[in-house]
Amino acid sequence: MPADDGWETYSRMVLQQLETLAAAIEQLRVELQSVKNELVELRAREDRIKEIKVWKEKMDDVVSPTQLKEALNEFEELKLFKTKAITAFAVIQFMMVTAIAALSML
């Protein structure tokens, strides 16, 4: 009987160790999947960075950053001029209508 009891204890210990190892392997699988997901995200970011780099190189071939800034400043000045011109036109139109109305009353 003592031999059977020893074998039974040993088999329980081995079974417990196998269960512990199985749990550890499952945890490693979960962690590995997490690492794979992060790696996919990093590769996607790297692809986006490469695309932006290519776009920037193409833009540098077309226009330099200082030229682009100057063009944007000129564009803002043109928008401001347009606003002033429309306002001046509206004021002149109002003055003309007022003058015509005043002359027609006399």
Q: Give dist(CA 70, CA 77) in Å, integer.
A: 11
Instruction: Write down the H helix ranges in the chain.
Output: 2-62, 65-105
Q: Give dist(CA 91, CA 106) in Å, integer.
A: 23
Q: Give dist(CA 54, CA 98) in Å, integer.
A: 60
64-102, pLDDT tens digit by residue?
Answer: 888 889 999 999 999 999 999 999 999 999 999 999 999
- Domains of the chain, by residue range, sit at 1-62, 64-106
State the pLDDT at residue 1.
46
Query: Both tokens of residue 41?
Result: 């995200």
pTM of the complete model: 0.47
Reference 23, options 33, 31, 35, 12; nearest CA is 31
Q: What is the DSSP letter of 41?
A: H
